[in-house]
C-alpha cells in the first residue's frame, strides 16, 4: 500500500499507480537476488517504483505524449522546456552521495513530506529536513563550480 501511495504522489493517476506498483513487485520477485540490504526494504521498493515511473515518463516524452498531470505541472513543464539545464542538474544530482541523492529525489520528484522521507529511512522528520537542505547546498555548490 505504501508503494502505491508513493507512486500516486509521483503521477497522481490511479491507473498508472496500479500499473507501476504491479511492475515494481514483479521486478522485485524477478531480481530479489540483487537486493544488498543496504537500505530499508521500503526504500528499495520506492526506488524501484520511482525508476519505473521515470522510465514511463521518458518513454511518453520520447513518443511526444506527456501525461496530462505531468504536462499540467508548471515546474515539470519548465524543467522539460530547458532540457540542457535539466540534464546538467541530473548529472550533478547523479554524482551526489547517498543519502543526499535519494532524499533530494524523494522530496523534489516524489513530493513526499519530510515526515514520510524520515520514515522511509527509519530516521526522524528533522533528519530528513537537514539531509534535504544539505543536498540542496551540495547541488548548488557543484552547479556553481562547473
Tens of pLDDT, residue by residue over 59-82, are 777 665 544 444 444 444 444 445
CATH classification of the domain holding 25? 1.10.1740
Same domain assignment for residues 74 and 63: yes
Same domain assignment for residues 49 and 87: no
The better pLDDT of the pair 32, 19 is held by 19
Same domain assignment for residues 64 and 122: no
- Average of per-residue pLDDT across 39-65: 78
How many other CB atoms are there within 10 angstroms of residue 73's CB atom? Answer: 16
Same domain assignment for residues 67 and 93: no
Q: Give one DSSP letter per residue of 92-135, joined into a string.
A: HHHHSPTTHHHHHHHHHTS---HHHHHHHTTS-HHHHHHHHHHH
Q: Among 13-22, 43-52, 86-95, 106-115, whose mean pLDDT is lowest?
A: 86-95
pLDDT of residue 71: 42
- Average of per-residue pLDDT across 142-146: 77
pLDDT of residue 83: 65
pLDDT of residue 124: 92
For 46, the domain range is: 1-81
Same domain assignment for residues 58 and 90: no
End position of a domain, from candidates 60, 81, 102: 81
Amino acid at each position: 500500500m505504501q508503494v502505491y501511495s508513493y507512486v500516486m504522489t509521483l503521477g497522481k493517476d490511479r491507473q498508472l499507480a496500479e500499473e507501476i506498483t504491479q511492475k515494481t513487485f514483479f521486478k522485485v520477485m524477478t531480481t530479489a537476488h540483487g537486493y544488498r540490504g543496504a537500505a530499508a526494504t521500503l526504500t528499495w521498493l520506492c526506488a524501484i517504483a520511482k525508476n519505473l515511473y521515470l522510465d514511463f515518463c521518458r518513454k511518453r516524452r520520447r513518443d511526444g505524449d506527456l501525461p496530462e498531470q505531468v504536462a499540467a505541472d508548471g515546474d515539470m513543464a519548465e524543467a522539460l522546456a530547458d532540457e540542457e539545464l535539466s540534464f546538467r542538474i541530473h548529472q550533478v544530482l547523479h554524482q551526489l552521495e547517498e543519502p543526499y541523492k535519494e532524499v533530494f529525489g524523494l522530496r523534489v520528484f516524489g513530493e513526499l513530506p519530510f515526515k514520510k522521507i524520515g520514515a522511509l529511512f527509519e530516521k526522524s522528520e528533522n533528519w530528513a529536513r537537514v539531509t534535504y537542505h544539505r543536498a540542496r547546498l551540495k547541488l548548488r555548490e557543484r552547479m556553481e563550480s562547473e
